């Protein structure tokens, strides 16, 4: 199934696109309410997907990213950062192994530049890097009955966050189910399905769910404290600033990779002075990723990492900022107050030797 055919399928369901991204299916406010309270299905084609193949693929990636590629055993996924030599994030990957390849899911807007940069470092290694975004259709399902809905169609679904299960049909493997963190009382999964079987899977699940646009999935990421790197925020963050050490996105024992010296020094010297927090911005105008946050004296103290409409009013956000500025309070986006909430995880990392 080509990208055009898949987009035609989604458009037939009433999808409203803006800049190639699904914003809603006719009622953005109602879809957010459903995301908060019931079962939803979201097309995730706003994400990009890289496939890394070849006998040197693992060794090559091991020298490029913050996490341990060797631990991708086909049963677990993890986050991993891709940094400049100065330790600043160029991209954030959700990485997993499937069908003898390593897959890296990232913000779609970054994909062409990241492919180009990775290929620069392949040199003589036996590695093939391809855009698999149209080969594997990505669907997100979330809600109180998400697990039971999937069990009606698949024999096995993962029960732990970041665990994966193969989707088998007619004695062949057609995709993968990945469990993601979600809000209390809900379950959240991503389905990655080969293009020839995606339409049947989509049609079989949609009757049990409300179709929603990208802002709803973004809202779930914010509630669960999962950051992103966008074109607006490339090279702005050392991985710990986005809580990647808390989210098990950094392995401090794996050896060298690009930017490793800076990331390790920050860890071992205990010099993390900035973190990412969950917040509500009380505004009628939507902020953008990369927008600055200021304190009462109008000094810049942070910036927006993720942003999505709040189901009630204003906007929910993940905001990276100086720890002491967050604790001092009285922070603003433009003239709108920033009210901090509680992340679903502690910001105290487990130290690794």
Quick one: pLDDT at residue 223? Answer: 98
Residue 307's pLDDT band, with cuts at 50, 70 and 90, is very high
Quick one: pLDDT at residue 8? Answer: 86
- pLDDT of 192-230, one tens digit each? 998 888 888 899 999 999 999 999 999 999 999 999 999
Mean pLDDT across 289-312: 96
Q: What is the DSSP letter of 313?
A: S
pTM attached to this predicted model: 0.95
Residue 348's pLDDT band, with cuts at 50, 70 and 90, is confident
* Whole-number Å distance between alpha carbons of 190 and 35: 15
* Whole-number Å distance between alpha carbons of 228 and 106: 8
- pLDDT of 130-189, one tens digit each? 999 988 999 999 999 999 999 999 988 999 999 999 998 878 888 999 999 999 999 999
Q: Which of 287, 223, 308, 280 is closest to 21 using CA atoms?
A: 308
Decide if pLDDT at 2 tops 80. Answer: no
Decide if pLDDT at 4 tops 70. Answer: no
Torsion sign over Cα 239, 244, 245, 250 = negative
Quick one: pLDDT at residue 44? Answer: 96
Dihedral, CA atoms, 52, 56, 59, 64, nearest 10 degrees? Answer: -40
Say whether 92 sits in a helix, a strand or coil.
Answer: strand
Positions of E strands within 149-260: 164-169, 172-180, 187-194, 210-212
Mean pLDDT across 105-131: 94
Quick one: pLDDT at residue 169? Answer: 81
Residue with tokens 């492919």: 115
- pLDDT of 17-70, one tens digit each? 998 899 999 999 999 999 999 999 999 999 999 999 999 999 999 999 999 999
* Whole-number Å distance between alpha carbons of 158 and 177: 7
Quick one: pLDDT at residue 353? Answer: 46
- pLDDT of 318-339, one tens digit each? 999 999 999 999 999 999 999 9
Quick one: pLDDT at residue 285? Answer: 94
Mean pLDDT taken over the chain: 93
The better pLDDT of the pair 246, 271 is held by 246
The pLDDT > 90 percentage for the chain reads 83
Mean pLDDT across 226-242: 97
Decide if pLDDT at 272 tops 90. Answer: no
Residue with tokens 């189910």: 177
Contact between 189 and 157 under an 8 Å Cβ cutoff? The reply is yes
Mean pLDDT across 115-139: 93
Contact between 27 and 220 under an 8 Å Cβ cutoff? The reply is no
* Whole-number Å distance between alpha carbons of 259 and 82: 8
Decide if pLDDT at 1 tops 80. Answer: no
Quick one: pLDDT at residue 270? Answer: 75
* Whole-number Å distance between alpha carbons of 153 and 200: 11
Torsion sign over Cα 128, 198, 147, 156 = negative
């Amino acid at each position: 199934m080509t990208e055009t055919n898949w987009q035609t399928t989604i458009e037939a369901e009433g999808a409203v696109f803006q800049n190639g991204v699904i914003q809603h299916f006719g009622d953005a406010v109602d879809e957010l309410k459903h995301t908060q309270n019931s079962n939803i299905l979201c097309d995730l084609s706003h994400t990009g997907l890289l496939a890394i193949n070849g006998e040197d693929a693992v060794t090559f990636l091991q020298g490029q990213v913050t996490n341990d590629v060797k631990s991708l055993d086909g049963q677990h996924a993890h986050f991993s950062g891709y940094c400049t030599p100065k330790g600043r994030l160029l991209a954030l990957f959700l990485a997993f192994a499937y069908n003898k390849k390593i897959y890296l899911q990232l913000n779609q807007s970054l994909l062409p530049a990241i492919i180009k940069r990775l290929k620069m470092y392949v040199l003589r290694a036996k590695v093939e890097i391809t855009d698999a975004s149209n080969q594997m259709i990505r669907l997100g399902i979330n809600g109180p009955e998400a697990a039971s809905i999937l069990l009606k169609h698949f024999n096995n679904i993962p029960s732990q966050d970041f665990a994966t299960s193969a989707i088998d049909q007619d004695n062949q493997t057609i995709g993968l189910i990945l469990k993601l963190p979600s809000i209390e009382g809900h379950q959240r999964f991503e389905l990655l399905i080969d293009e020839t079987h995606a339409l049947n899977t989509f049609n079989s699940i949609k009757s049990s769910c409300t179709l929603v646009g990208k802002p709803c999935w973004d809202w779930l990421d914010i509630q669960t404290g999962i950051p992103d790197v966008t074109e607006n925020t490339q090279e702005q963050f050392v991985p710990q600033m986005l809580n990647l050490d808390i989210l098990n996105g950094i392995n401090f024992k794996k050896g060298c990779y690009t930017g490793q010296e800076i990331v390790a020094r920050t860890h071992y010297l205990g010099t993390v002075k900035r973190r990412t927090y969950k917040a509500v911005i009380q505004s009628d105008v939507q902020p953008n990723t990369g927008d600055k946050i200021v304190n009462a004296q109008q000094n810049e103290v942070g910036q927006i990492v993720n942003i999505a409409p709040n189901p009630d009013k204003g906007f929910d956000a993940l905001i990276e900022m100086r720890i002491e500025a967050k604790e001092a309070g009285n922070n603003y986006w433009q003239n709108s107050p920033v009210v901090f909430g509680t992340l679903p995880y502690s910001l105290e990392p487990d130290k690794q030797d």
